[in-house]
Structure 1
Amino acid sequence: MKIRFITLIATMICSSNVWGNFTIDQLTYGVSSEENREVYIADCKDTVTSVTIPNTVSMYGKEYSVVGIGENAFANCTSLASINIPNSITTISDYAFYNCSALTELTVPGSVTGIGKEALYGCKSLTTLHIMEGLDSIGQYAFWQCYALKDIYVSPDNPKFCSEDGILYNKDKTALLKHAPARPNTTFTVPASVTRIHECAFEDCKSLTSVILPQNLTYIGCRAFSYCQALAEINIPVNLQEIDDEAFGNCRSLTSLILPESLNKIGNRAFINCSNLHSVQLPANLTRIENSTFSNCVSLTGINFPETISFIGGNAFASCSLTQVTLPSQIETIEEYCFYNCKNLTSVSLPADHEINIGKSAFEGTHIITFYCKGTTPPVAADAFSWTNLQYSALFIPSQSVEAYKATEPWSKFGYVEDIESHATFFDVDTIRYRGENGTATAIFNADSWATEVVVPESVTQNGNLYTVTGIGNNAFESNSMSAIRLPQTITRIGNKAFFYCNSLQSIELPEQLSEIGEEAFYNCQSLQTVTIPESVSEIKYQTFAGCNKLEKVHVPEGLKRIHSNAFAYCSSLTAFDVPAQTDSIGNGVFNACSALNAISVSPQNTKYTSIDGILYNKTSTQLITYPAGQTALSFTLSDKVIRICQDAFFGNTCLQYVYIPNSVQEIGSRAFNSCVSLDSVRLPESLTEIPDYTFYKCQSLRSIQIPAAVKRIGTAAFYNCQNLASIRCEAINPPVIDLLTFNFVPTDIPIYVPQESINRYKEAEYWSTFSNYQGIQTGICNMNSSKEITFNQGLLHNPNGLSIQIFDTSGRLIYQGSETTIHLSEKGIYLIHYQQKTIKVSF
């Protein structure tokens, strides 16, 4: 029936002398002493509106004195408006009138000696309290949330308590127990005799704007001034020693505090939610700041810590507006969430060497720009910056400790590591963060990543110092939503990934003085259409413009020396490229999957490279470097001058169906035919000793492959996802080394043609053993008779019945397998056609 229940046995009293409860009218009684015939009020009906407690009650022919009001006796009787307590009552127990929200007045008779803790908690309509002469103890929080209480009267004959102007004190007025919260006064002077202010003494005194405390005050109790929301001014006396938990919590008008040197303890949540508190002076000898002491003091912008502080508790400054924090030299512990959500906190400094432990999320939600660790040993702070992006923040540490910090989380997450003796400075101007030193600045981060247009200024000012903006830092505008950016002519360097994944960037004018563009600087800028690279740039680095799939034209400087790997990979709208005269180094895969690129031209004055039919070679044409992915020819025959096919040479060409590689070729680079999805067949040279990693990766139309006898190794994923392979002919006596991925997603039941004497070797070799259909290589001619089923005329072989046939050259290489009705043999020579256990010879 009630929220709180007493722990006595709830059985009805019977004719024997067993103690129990019984109900008369609206009240339930419990026997406290059968011998003395004494009972107490144990419970009451919730709906009661008015109660008169009798002096005595009779039950089973016995008369009992009513001597107490038990725990929770009237708890949650929310309709109870009045009660008459007789002089027989000696105790009012804990929670006795808990949440009797309609009770307006209460007289505690002279017979009552004690009121329990929280006895009147939540009596929100109680306006007047009369205390008679016998009361000598009042429990904690007895009058908590009695918001309407206006007057407290104490009998002059009471030896323990007194009242003055409706305010409750102990008898000698050294302790102030309760200032009635509904009193209309706006100012109050605490009597000079008072040395202690008890818990909740002024709680919810919403009219108070100013309180003057006596000089001899030594203690302010728990929640003493809590929720005094109009309290704007209070003097803290010089002899105060302790401010207990939540003493000034939610004093939202309090603006400043000067705490005396005598103060040696500030409790948990002492000033929590003091939202207008902007200035606090801490005592010089304070050693601890407890949990949530200044939590949510959103106007607090600065704090000076005494050097004696060794401990700062959890949430101590959570959600404050601190901008800089310098921790004292004696600090040892910074508890979890200490500076959580201090969104304006940009700079933190830790002292020199001694062990410091920083708790979980201590700096989560901050806006750290610079963090100074003066100690050579990294503080223990594994999760101190949870969910905080440190990529554009600077860590200043002793130069000899760089490796130690880089090897330790979270310090390894800082994007910039600086010598603590450095003159570098980091600062924000508008939405852009800069690193400044010696009069120049580099833009390193843009906080407004959703801005559609960005202007980088020519110069910025910080603390009166002028900095010329000369650089765009690594990742500075990564994943920004800008469609345009204006750079000043003072810019000389653009860092790695500076505009990485700026998908909406349509245009950018690169400054004439620009000398360096970093790796992946414009990676995946999918809206960028044209770029003019200044003459001062000498190299295009790794993947600088990779993934710019709308980039149609690139103007490169005549002085360009180097183009690094994948510089323009997947630029699917790029149609042409001119290699300047001075370019002497072109990396692998520069034009990978540039599906519209049909020609690469080279300046005739270039001494390193040449172009033949739009195909890029080295100057002597012995190395084929790039066969443009946009060329539309169905077949291609390499010149016998070529000895090397470079890495990624044919990458991503979707038109080629057949490639003839002469025996002059000694090496094929990795990924050479990667993603050539239309490639049907390819002739590999006899001199080949290795088929490197990913060579024919995802060549999904490849139907057959003949692996020369000299091949010793076939690399990882060399034929990965060649799902339409119908046969493999491997002439090597000893199975080439392969791995798990070499033929991944190739059917395992296709014919594998190997030398007859090597079948068992292949069946037992690692990973070759996954294939199940091994057949010995057929040599010689079974039948030289002419054929009615197959006819041949000037390089065209006719197979009108669609028979399954194999075509070999005179060296025994399988060059075709299938059942097409018309087959074109592109090279003159002698061929052996095998079908239906027959072999015929043709030539042209």
Structure 2
Amino acid sequence: MKKSVIRNLLAVGCALFMVLSVNAGNAGYGAVVTGAGQLESEVGDRLFEIDSLSVSGPIDDSDFLTMFRGVTEGRISILNLEHASPESEEIPPEAFQSASGLKKVILPGNLRVIGWNAFKGCSGLATVEIKSELRVIECRAFEGCGSLRSVSLNPGLWAIYEYAFLGCALDSIIVPPSVTQVGDGAFAENNLKKIYLMPSVAPRVVNRIVNTVDVDLDLFHGTTSLDIPAYIPYGADASYREAAGWNVLTNYIETDDFPLEIEQAYPCEVVTVAAGQLGAMLPQVDYAIDSLVVKGPVNEADIHSLWTEAYRRGTIRVIDLKDAKIENGVIPAKAFAKRSDIQYERADVRRLILPGDIVEIGDSAFYGNHSIEQINLPEPLPSLGKACFAGCANFKVGRIVIADGVIEIPDACFSGCPGLTEVILPEELESIGRYGFAETGISHVDLPASVTSVGAWAFGKSRLETIGMSESLVKIGERAFYATRLDNVDFPASLLEIGENAFESTQLKRIEIGDGIVSIGNNAFSGNRLLTEIVFPSSAVAFGTHVFAFCDELKQVTIPEWMTVIPDNMFSHCRNLESATFPAGLKAVGYGVFIYTGLKEINLPDGIEEIGSSAFYATRFETLTLPASINKIGSDSFAPTGKLRYIKSCSPEPPITGSWARPSMMPFDVPVYIPSGSLEAYQKAAVWNQFENYIETDDFSTVGIKSVVENAADGNIEVYDSAGRKVYTGKSESFDTNSLTGGFYIIKQGEATRKIVL
């Protein structure tokens, strides 16, 4: 006879004994209810006369309240709930809080959770018997149970949360091997003399109560001697000594002899005659199994039942379907996916053996399955559904080969599978869907020549280092290669569109944009902190904002001749960008284009009309020349971080401008050179009227000249045109005046300068 049957017979016998004991005059009562909410009417006036109460049948929160009254207003000190069935499989929060008269409780057989504060302050509680596959002990569940000297926690328990046994009288505790989380302070203020830790990996210590605040995790809060014997499995020493919360203990002892007896698991085989039978067969299988072999015909309902049973038990590690005949060879949608409809349960299947004739894996078939480590996938893979392996964080898939004839990788197909390290794509492939290989371990991929589209996030946050681009590629989606390790990309001539954030935060050192590209989205190359060179195309491109922002190593840029407006924030926060060469046809500089860069000079071309707000905010320029064509300047456009020597505003009409900058950044006593006859206009103009040191001039070319020499000695020289733009830097003997158009030029060598007219 199976142990489970014997246990059930004994339980029924105990319930009958309780009923008979009442009839014999003992102060106990066995209540059998057929529906939740009936306990008060069933017990009646006995509630305040009996010393113990046994309950069988369905119960709800109102029934727990009845029991609470029997303890706090009556004489009940013992509760036997082994055969009671709470509707939510939970002892409700605060169910028996401060019920000091309660001395012993036998918990329900279907119990999964002991709610927060459930027995808090039950100072007389000395015995707690767990008869179920309890999963979670919530925070402060037994806090202040000062008479509780021992408790036997069950195999299958997952979590003991914050302060669960704070202020009890435990002298030892056995943490079952299934526990993966223990809350901060869970065992504080006890009388612990030893502790048995059966998990082979130290359970993670958490504090969900103050999850927005950094706290020092401490299971014992300084109330337990740190050198108490802590018994752990062989090979677990490093795990515990390095884990937060556990690393405070100093006396770890490795052993394989633990006082908690774990029922030995064994494999089980189930053979179906017809599809649809598993749902009835699986509940009859003994509980103590760790692997399940299924043979015979199986349909979608069978797979659903199989996975539900794996969730309910939590002990099955291997499911073998090698000799099962799955209907139509299709793994159904969500077949082995994470289940959100089952509370306080989890599947722990590590290995799945599929039949060899699988032709399709449905949408989300393994979605969010964190436990699965091995699946014997056929090679090449069959037809794949969307998100079929998404979120399989521990799936050690390694290398996969996509079958010939596949033209699309479905959305999120392998997203979140770091164990995927290599993929071979078919020659017929045309597109890779959104998140197709995001957050995988793939380091290199060759896109077949037929691929025209790489979807959003396709390889985002993967470990991709190198890529062979398709010769037919037309579109790269947003964040397609975000935060990868790519350091070089050769864009094909076919490429037309690069989406937003497509190459953000990669390791690109050089970017050459092909002539065929027509649009590049916001932040497409931002955050490439190793980038040193940008080669713009000869044809116009529609750029978004922040395209090259936060590229720390970029020191020089040459804006292409076709660009008339520099898009907003294009080079913002490129902190080492010292030089920018502007095209002659430039009309406007957008918002924040060079904000927080290292620009030392601002040489704007004649013909420019508008400077956007914050365009040159917090840059290092020492001189500023505003061509006569400028008619509008945005707020905070020019805010130097270095020492500003002078400003030249060449227009007789003051440009319309917002506030220049905070006084701490803009010295309003700096010399401002303006055309002769325009002083009154500048002194009356908004914002311009803040400057205090205007100097009228008819010759802006001489502004800033300290001395004039007739001949520059041999050495390095700099040549500027009448607008203040640098047109030559190099050796004086190599300078050819024939390369210049007619006009005034300033030649500078060190602090000496001279003017020439051509």
| Band the TM-score falls in, shorter-chain normalisation | 0.3 to 0.5
TM-score of the aligned structures, taking structure 2 as reference length: 0.44
TM-score of the aligned structures, taking structure 1 as reference length: 0.40
Which structure is richer in relative contact order (CA contacts within 8 A, separation 6 or more)?
A: 2
The structure in which a higher percent of residues are helix is 2
